[in-house]
Structure 1
Amino acid sequence: MCHKDCKEIKGGRFTRWRIKLSVSNVSAEDGGDYACQAQLTHTGKRYTILNSITVNITETHGYAGRIPKIIYPKNNSIEVQPGTTLTVDCNITDTRDNTNLRSWRVNDTLVDDYYNESKRIREGFESHISFQKHIFYTVNITFSEVKMEDYGRPFICHAGVSAAYFILKLPAPDVQAYLIGGLVTLIGAAVSVTYIYNIFKIDIVLWYRSAFLSTEIKEDGKLYDAYVLYPKPQREIQSHEVDTLVLKILPEVLERQCGYKLFIFGRDEFPGQAVANVIDENIKLCRRLIIIIVPEFLSFDLLKNMSEEQIAVYNALIQDGMKVILIELEKVKDYTAMPESIQYIKQKHGAIQWSGDFTKQSQCAKTKFWKKVRYHMPPKRPPPSSSAQMLKHTY
């Protein structure tokens, strides 16, 4: 409680703050004797403390030069994330003999009083540095946890008649971070899709063909899906394996199970036809060339001498640009001993290694080996028209 000239001080111009009494809009009538008393408890005993001061009011010229200057804040905004701990300093310069009150307020109330219950936002102790003509004051405000209710609310630093505020606001979205994050996500998704596609590419293509392409394919005048070219090994065991694969397993899987149509020399030509004419005419009616490779040097010497291989490879590589499917009966480690045409085909189209064992289990179109062959085969087409069938019988 404070008194002036033995009368209790009342009115909005007088504010008690901690150990100070602030008087705003000072006039000559405010001069006089002031006394303030407070209660103090020490070692269980209660004491009354009284302090008094005499105030003389004098007129000064150039009062504007004595107004405190708030350096910071500057009526600015501060970006901060919710839940953050934040401390903001109020920096003030004032004349040495000035007695202005320095404090933080919110909603016209001292911060410590406004947040008296939660104590989430508190005003810190004042510090100062003295210079020859002025004093630099610092008094801070601390948020133990920034909450959504604090955003957009002015927190005002008062120094006598001077005041300045700051407002908290949410940080602007980091567009660059979003762009980088989005780009990384897209790249990651593209890599994942590419990786998954490479693993399941064959299954995806075969499914797509069976679901969509069968009704979209137009007639191209071809009668066969593939021409099968195979060597005649000199060893009896290899000859038997090649004949089994070409004359039994290939027709069983590709023709009967998958619906393809193959031309196999020795099986499909008419008796009495000239070999060169049969090969030249029929290979032009095929969409693919299947070459069976046996890892034996002599088996490919036939390409240098027999007209069947020469005409087939010539048509596939030069004349028609036909896609070639190489099937290795056994793993071929070195292609350098083979004709350049076979080396070129291997480099351009790759090769599929036979993984069967000439039993019924190897004659299933859904095995990995046959899926690879079907992937390189053309999409299945609708049955040829009657005119195309008649064309076949004219040869």
Structure 2
Amino acid sequence: MKEHLSEGITDYLNVVSGSRLLLDCNFTVGKNQYPYWSWNGSYADIDPNIAWFTPQIPNLTKTNPSTEICRLNVSKVQSKHYLYPFICSVKNGAGEVSAYIALIPPVPDYKIYLIAGFITLTLVITFSMIIYKFFKVEIVLLYRDSCHPYFLKKVSDGKLYDAYILYPKNSGEGSTYTSDIFVFKILPEVLENQCGYNLFIYGRDDLVGEDAIMVTNENIMKSRRLIIVLMGESSSYNWLGNTSEQQIAMYNALVHDGIKIIMVELEKIKSYEHMPESIKYLKQKYGVIRWSGDFMEETPSAKTKFWKCIRYHMPAQQHWSSSPREPLALDSVLNYKKKEHTAL
């Protein structure tokens, strides 16, 4: 940086620390004159980074032969140079004249920092949203697992069950066999034994002789989720809305906001055209999770993609089962269902 300074003028100059600085002091030529630069009460050139000299500038001499220049060369501006002004003085027999120039650090351009900060924040938010979109299930489950002790201390919401299981109950027959395996064997093994949830399954947890309507209504009201199990064959979903249990469950799902719905397709359902309107509405609102496991697998794992999605939609565990529950024997389930079908 190069700056011109005339005698008698006091000026301020923005200079970046660490940069090189050239200061030209113009003065009128006279007899026995001695130009010099000073700083902090001493000659400026006592600092090894500073020197001054009087250069010969032909163009300036021809234009104005009575003017000369005393040039200050600061090879590296330091923070201490902001403390005191540099003084250009010219001394002769008649006296001394001086000009002052003070160095000041440049004012930060906050606009650049604001723009850079905004761009950085935008990129971070966008990147975080992309990460969350693709890994939100894993992120939520990791958060729940790491914060599990805090959930244990959570005040009870008055619910007894984490989920009420609504599943096909057509009597006998092969279309519901896989749903029985899923409901009475696979669901309890994963959600209860591995994940610590408490499920209510009609046909397992109710008592013989109890009023079906009362049992259904009370236990749905005591549940945080309603899991609806759907099969692929049209004959397997004719049961929806045809019994008191399904009617009560649909009423709670559609009218009461306190219970959230998890819909599970055990087989791919190509069209919901012939489904009840209530199921169409719930599918549109909550979506469906399609089963992708093996019904014959002895010990299904809760770490598969399907079960992670189920756990994501389930409430955070507030308790752990004190002991694993043994799956109900499938033969006893089928026998119970025949009796139950008659009762409903």
TM-score, with length taken from structure 1: 0.62
Where do 1:237-316 residues align within 5 Å? 239-273=176-210, 275-316=212-253
Contact 1:129-1:135 at 8 Å conserved across structures: yes
Contact 1:103-1:157 at 8 Å conserved across structures: yes
* 1:251 Cα deviation after fit: 1.3
Matching residue of 2:155: 217
Matching residue of 1:163: 98
**What is the rounded CA distance, in whole Å, between the counterparts of 1:81 and 1:271 in structure 2?**
89
**What is the rounded CA distance, in whole Å, between the counterparts of 1:124 and 1:327 in structure 2?**
91
1:90 aligns with 2:19: no
Matching residue of 2:15: 80
**What is the rounded CA distance, in whole Å, between the counterparts of 2:298 and 2:19 in structure 1?**
68
**What secondary structure does 1:325 align onto?**
strand
1:123 aligns with 2:53: yes
Is the radius of gyration larger for structure 1 or structure 2?
Answer: 1
**What secondary structure does 2:293 align onto?**
coil
Judged with a 3 Å threshold, the aligned counterparts in structure 2 of structure 1 residues 256 and 362 are, in CA distance, closer, same or farther, namely closer
**What secondary structure does 2:161 align onto?**
coil
Deviates more, 1:71-80 or 1:305-314: 71-80
* 1:114 Cα deviation after fit: 4.7
**What secondary structure does 1:201 align onto?**
helix
**What is the rounded CA distance, in whole Å, between the counterparts of 2:18 and 2:244 in structure 1?**
85
Contact 2:52-2:70 at 8 Å conserved across structures: no
Where do 1:147-226 residues align within 5 Å? 147-148=78-79, 150-159=81-90, 161-180=96-115, 199=135, 200-207=138-145, 210-218=148-156, 220=158, 222-226=159-163
Judged with a 3 Å threshold, the aligned counterparts in structure 2 of structure 1 residues 148 and 287 are, in CA distance, closer, same or farther, namely closer
**What is the rounded CA distance, in whole Å, between the counterparts of 2:156 and 2:190 in structure 1?**
24
Deviates more, 1:346-355 or 1:318-327: 346-355
* 1:253 Cα deviation after fit: 1.6
Contact 2:50-2:75 at 8 Å conserved across structures: yes
* 1:154 Cα deviation after fit: 3.4
More helix by share: 2
**What is the rounded CA distance, in whole Å, between the counterparts of 2:70 and 2:320 in structure 1?**
92
Deviates more, 1:363-372 or 1:232-241: 232-241
**What is the rounded CA distance, in whole Å, between the counterparts of 2:124 and 2:131 in structure 1?**
10
1:344 aligns with 2:275: no
1:363 aligns with 2:300: yes
Matching residue of 1:12: none
Out of 47, 68, 72, the position equivalent to 1:141 is: 72
**What secondary structure does 2:223 align onto?**
coil
**What secondary structure does 2:240 align onto?**
helix
Contact 1:356-1:362 at 8 Å conserved across structures: no
**What is the rounded CA distance, in whole Å, between the counterparts of 1:330 and 1:121 in structure 2?**
89
Question: How many corresponding residue pairs?
Answer: 307
Provide Cα deviations, 1:155-194, integer angstroms capped at 9, x if missing partner.
Answer: 3223563311223333344445555555555555555666
Judged with a 3 Å threshold, the aligned counterparts in structure 2 of structure 1 residues 362 and 123 are, in CA distance, closer, same or farther, namely farther
Greater relative contact order, per chain length (Cα 8 Å cut-off, separation 6+): 2
* 1:289 Cα deviation after fit: 0.3
**What is the rounded CA distance, in whole Å, between the counterparts of 2:270 and 2:69 in structure 1?**
83
**What is the rounded CA distance, in whole Å, between the counterparts of 1:129 and 1:197 in structure 2?**
73
Provide Cα deviations, 1:272-312, integer angstroms capped at 9, x if missing partner.
Answer: 45544443343223221001233444544432544432321
Contact 1:202-1:371 at 8 Å conserved across structures: no
**What secondary structure does 1:254 align onto?**
helix
Amino acid at match of 1:201: I
Q: What root-mean-square deviation, in Å, do the aligned CA atoms of Structure 1 and Structure 2 show? A: 4.1
Judged with a 3 Å threshold, the aligned counterparts in structure 2 of structure 1 residues 261 and 151 are, in CA distance, closer, same or farther, namely closer
Contact 1:72-1:89 at 8 Å conserved across structures: no
TM-score, with length taken from structure 2: 0.69
Contact 1:234-1:299 at 8 Å conserved across structures: no
Amino acid at match of 2:199: L
Matching residue of 1:24: none
Provide Cα deviations, 1:87-131, integer angstroms capped at 9, x if missing partner.
Answer: 233345x5xx855847441257776x657xx67544362542767
Amino acid at match of 1:162: V
- Structure 2's unaligned 5+ residue stretches are 322-344
**What is the rounded CA distance, in whole Å, between the counterparts of 1:307 and 1:150 in structure 2?**
90
Matching residue of 1:62: none
Where do 1:37-48 residues align within 5 Å? none
* 1:211 Cα deviation after fit: 1.5
* 1:248 Cα deviation after fit: 0.6
Out of 255, 261, 264, the position equivalent to 1:318 is: 255
Matching residue of 1:105: 37
